[in-house]
Amino acid sequence: MISKLILEQGTVLLEGPVSKGQILSKKMCSGLASFRSPAEQQKALADIAGLPEGMVYIAHIEEKIIGYITFHYPDPLERWGQIKIKELLEFGAIEVCPGWRNKGIAKSLLRIGFSNPVVEDYIIISTEYYWHWDLEGTGLNVWEYKSMIECALEEVGFQLVSTDDPEIISHPANSLMVRYGENVLEKTVIKFESYLFLNKRMF
Ligand SMILES: CC(C)(COP(=O)(O)OP(=O)(O)OC[C@H]1O[C@@H](n2cnc3c(N)ncnc32)[C@H](O)[C@@H]1OP(=O)(O)O)[C@@H](O)C(=O)NCCC(=O)NCCS
């Protein structure tokens, strides 16, 4: 799938799911450093694109990647990775290079990624951890940032869900969001939801 976003600075192409080769043949914007260095992030994106279930969508201009979103199975070290449901995917990351932000690129990437009918076959989780957020770069406070991300994800069908996962509840700004695909069976939803609260107290 491919679409365009016309900005003053030029035409941004939004494309995906892209292959490993398409990612490695492009340059990375030097500011794509929220999670790791741009070179390491490019390799991580290529690795995700190479996974059977992995999907990467990129925003690029003149062969330079300026933003991306990823989908993959949850990390087996996390609670969500221990749920044995093959229809459970994680919306892994969203990042737009500073200088290109607040121009609609993240929302355009979300729109293209979530217009792929394959998302309806999955429960997709998104874990929001405030320590990944660029508060300084955006000038937003932690609550404004939380609201920005949650609103953008709600527009593509995510909802906030309560959990007692220790990482999520370690800070009140963190959250778990879930998108239930239309084709997911009820028994799969019930199994997933049985993992939201694992630290039940007996009274
Ligand atoms: C979060 C991030 C991906 C947003 O990308 P973006 O391309 O700037 O987002 P968009 O331009 O599509 O804007 C999305 C919404 O946020 C708002 N927004 C974005 N930056 C903003 C800012 N600095 N101040 C106020 N609102 C802002 C936009 O107005 C838009 O809301 P609207 O639809 O109500 O108008 C980007 O800031 C980023 O890469 N941050 C670092 C990584 C990160 O925090 N990732 C998320 C956690 S994994």
User: Using one digit for the tens of pLDDT, what is the confidence trace for 142-173?
Assistant: 999 999 999 999 999 999 999 999 999 999 99
Mutate to test the pocket of ligand 1, among 95, 131, 151 (most ligand atoms within 8 A of CB): 95
What are the φ and ψ backbone dihedral angles of 4, each rounded to 5 degrees? -125, 150
**Among the listed residues 173, 175, 149, 171, the one whose alpha carbon sits nearest the alpha carbon of residue 163:** 175
Q: Is the CB of 93 under 6 A from ligand 1?
A: yes
Domains of the chain: 2-193 (3.40.630.30)
Q: Which atom of ligand 1 is nearest to the CA of 108?
A: 12
Q: Is the CB of 87 under 6 A from ligand 1?
A: no
What residues form DSSP beta bridges with 161? 176
Tokens of 128: 């929001």
Distance CA 180, CA 176 (A): 13
pTM for the full predicted model: 0.96
Strands (E) across 32-98 are located at 55-61, 64-72, 88-96
47-93 pLDDT, tens digit each: 999 999 999 999 999 999 999 999 999 999 999 999 989 999 999 99
pLDDT value of position 111? 97
Q: Which atom of ligand 1 is nearest to the CA of 97?
A: 39
What residues form DSSP beta bridges with 68? 58, 95
